[in-house]
Amino acid sequence: AQTVTQSQPEMSVQEAETVTLSCTYDTSESDYYLFWYKQPPSRQMILVIRQEAYKQQNATENRFSVNFQKAAKSFSLKISDSQLGDAAMYFCAYRSPNSGTYKYIFGTGTRLKVLA
Amino acid sequence: GAVVSQHPSWVICKSGTSVKIECRSLDFQATTMFWYRQFPKQSLMLMATSNEGSKATYEQGVEKDKFLINHASLTLSTLTVTSAHPEDSSFYICSAQSQGQSNQPQHFGDGTRLSIL
């Protein structure tokens, strides 16, 4: 069974600085999808970025980028030029394309605090 | 696009009553919808997966008779918490998966805060 691990329960970053949130996963599959979601205090789940495992190029969305290391089964999220609005819980998620159900396996989350 | 509406956003009711939560995909057809429960400061816990026109698949440890799920159409799934008790108080979130688009992410509703007195 697949598992997702987020080893940092909480992280802090100074406004305008860069922070990296870690995520590792365990799977025997070669093809899969990875996602980062942001959950602010409003508790909405907001998609930040996604990565297909067959793509070697790291995904980037504006200030958000990932470092996808397939062999190491690592999928870290880098937030550049951190803003106060980035403060939230961040969840890493894995999805197998083969399960037939599209269901996610979530990590336990990392709470990001942004210091003014 | 890909908007999921969840209603109600907050409900308070007395112990012993049943509560229905609706999850609608507004601008796409969702063959699969998911129901999650989230305790404070914890991750999302998948309760069940519902497919349109068939019975829901419940995760281990989730009581089927307590949490009734109906996915009657490609745009609507409902979760009914039957005979709710204070321990059922929690934050419930639904999500929907677009039909035939396995490479697309789940789209989440805004959640329902359920408080049982």
Q: pLDDT truncated to tens, each residue of chain B (117 aa)?
A: 789 999 999 999 999 999 999 999 999 888 899 999 999 989 999 999 998 888 899 999 999 999 999 988 889 999 999 999 999 999 999 999 887 676 789 999 999 999 999
Contact between chains at A43 and B111 (C-beta distance less than 8 A): yes
**Three-state secondary structure call for residue B78:** strand
- Indicate yes or no: CB of B32 within 8 angstroms of CB of A91: no
Task: Note whether A106 contacts B43, CB cutoff 8 Å.
Answer: yes
A98 touches chain B (CB under 8 A): no
* Chain A neighbors of B108, CB-CB under 8 A: 44-45
* 8 A C-beta contact, residue A41 and residue A56: no
A93–chain B nearest CA distance, Å:
10
Q: Which chain A positions have a beta carbon within 8 Å of B91's beta carbon?
A: 43
Closest by Cα among B39, B40, B59, B61 to B48: B59
CA distance to A1, A83, A91, B29, B30, per residue, from A53 (Å): 17, 29, 18, 26, 24
CA separation (Å) from A36 to A52, A105, B70? 12, 12, 29
Query: Which tokens is B106 given?
Result: 């789940």
Does B8 sit behind a cis peptide bond, omega within 30 degrees of 0 on the bond before it? yes
